[in-house]
Amino acid sequence: MQRKSDRAAWLKGGDARCSTQPERRPDQHRFVLLGAPGVGKGTQAELLSERFHICPLSTGDIFRASKALAAGCECSPAMLRALGYMNTGELVPDETVLSLIRQRAKCLRCGGGFLLDGFPRTIAQAEALENILEENEVKLDAVLSYDLPLEQIVVRLGGRRICPQCKRVFHAESRPPRQAGICDDCDIALFLRDDDRPEAIRVRMHAYEKNTTPVIDFYRARDLLIPIEAGSNPAETFERTLKAIQKAATRDLP
C-alpha cells in the first residue's frame, strides 16, 4: 500500500520536499476539481486521491498551513501578502494566488500526477494555469465539475452546526449530535455560522456562479470538462465520477 505524502512541497513551497516521492507512472492523472461549497467536493477529492494515488493540492490547505508558519517568519512574501488579505476578511487577489502556484510548480510536474482542488476559481486564474502548465510541459487530463441544485446546497449547508470550543462540525440530518443542539465532546451549545444561513448561502452561490461559469465554459471549449451530478451519497457520486472519467478516456477510441 502506498504511503500518503505529507505534501510538504505544496504546503510550504520553496525548497521543501515531500517525505515520499511517488514513482513516475504511465497512468498518472492530472485533474482539476470544480464545485460550489456544499456539493461534497472535498470528500470526492479524498476518494480520488486514494483511488489514483495522487496528492490533493488545495489552495485552502496552503493558507491554513501558512498561518502556523507565519509566526516563525517562514512564509514567502506572496504568502505573507495572502495572509494579510485573509486576516482582514478580503479575498486574496489573483496575482497573489498565482504567485503561490508558481512557487509550487514542481508539484505540477510531480511524477505521481496531481489533483487541484479550489483552483482555478476565476477565468484569469484558469488562463494563467494553462500558461503555467504549458511552461512545465504538463497537460490536464480532465476538469471534474460537480453540480448540485441550489435548494439542496441550502439544506446541506444550513443543517451544519459547529461547536464554539472544539470546532467539531455536526449536521442536523446526516451527522446529528447525541443530544439535539449540544456538542458530544464539550457538552455546550452548538451554533449556526452566519454564512450558513439560507439567505447568506444564496448570496455565496450567486457569487460562485458569477465567477465560475466562465471557468466552466473555458474548459468546455477545450474539451476537458466532465460534468458530474453530486448527490447526498458520496459513494454513489464517486461511482459516477469513475464512470465519467472512464467514458471520457475512451471516447476518442475507435
Catalytic annotation present for 4: no
Please tell me the predicted confidence (pLDDT) of residue 72.
Answer: 52
Give the residue extent of every domain in the chain.
Answer: 29-148+212-249
All cell numbers assigned to 78: 506572496
Angstrom distance (rounded) from CA 88 to CA 12 = 22
Please tell me the predicted confidence (pLDDT) of residue 242.
Answer: 96
| Active-site residue identified among 7, 30, 121, 161 | 121
| Active-site residue identified among 12, 156, 160, 161 | 160
- DSSP string for residues in 128-151: HHHHHHHHTT----EEEEEE--HH
The Cα-based distances of 89 to 44, 81, 82, 83 in angstroms read 28, 13, 11, 10
Classify 162 as helix, strand or coil.
strand
Classify 218 as helix, strand or coil.
helix
Q: How many beta carbons lie within 10 A of that of residue 3, not counting itself?
A: 9
Classify 58 as helix, strand or coil.
strand
| Active-site residue identified among 7, 12, 41, 104 | 41
Angstrom distance (rounded) from CA 31 to CA 82 = 25
| Active-site residue identified among 67, 139, 175, 193 | 193
**Neighbouring-strand partners of residue 168:** none
Ranges of H-type helices in 136-197: 150-158
Please tell me the predicted confidence (pLDDT) of residue 224.
Answer: 96
Q: Which of 22, 117, 109, 142 is nearest to 62 (CA)?
A: 117
All cell numbers assigned to 231: 448527490
What contacts 195, CB < 8 A, 6 or more positions away? 201, 204
Please tell me the predicted confidence (pLDDT) of residue 1.
Answer: 42
Cα angle 142-219-61, degrees, rounded to a multiple of 5: 65
Catalytic annotation present for 202: no
Catalytic annotation present for 160: yes
Angstrom distance (rounded) from CA 146 to CA 229 = 6
Question: Is 154:202 a contact under the CB 8 Å cutoff?
Answer: yes
Angstrom distance (rounded) from CA 145 to CA 139 = 18
Q: Which of 233, 227, 231 is nearest to 245 (CA)?
A: 227
- Tens of each residue's pLDDT in the chain, 254 residues: 455 777 888 888 878 888 876 666 667 899 999 998 888 888 899 899 999 989 889 887 887 776 655 555 566 777 778 777 777 767 788 888 898 899 889 999 988 899 999 899 899 999 999 999 999 999 999 999 999 988 888 888 888 899 998 888 888 887 899 999 999 999 999 999 888 888 888 888 888 888 889 999 999 999 999 999 998 788 999 999 999 999 988 875 54
Q: How many beta carbons lie within 10 A of that of residue 17, not counting itself?
A: 12
Q: Which of 203, 185, 200, 252 is nearest to 223 (CA)?
A: 252
Q: How many beta carbons lie within 10 A of that of residue 82, not counting itself?
A: 22
Pairing of strands 56-58, 142-147: unpaired
Q: What is the CATH number of domain 29-148+212-249?
A: 3.40.50.300
Please tell me the predicted confidence (pLDDT) of residue 207.
Answer: 84
Catalytic annotation present for 175: no
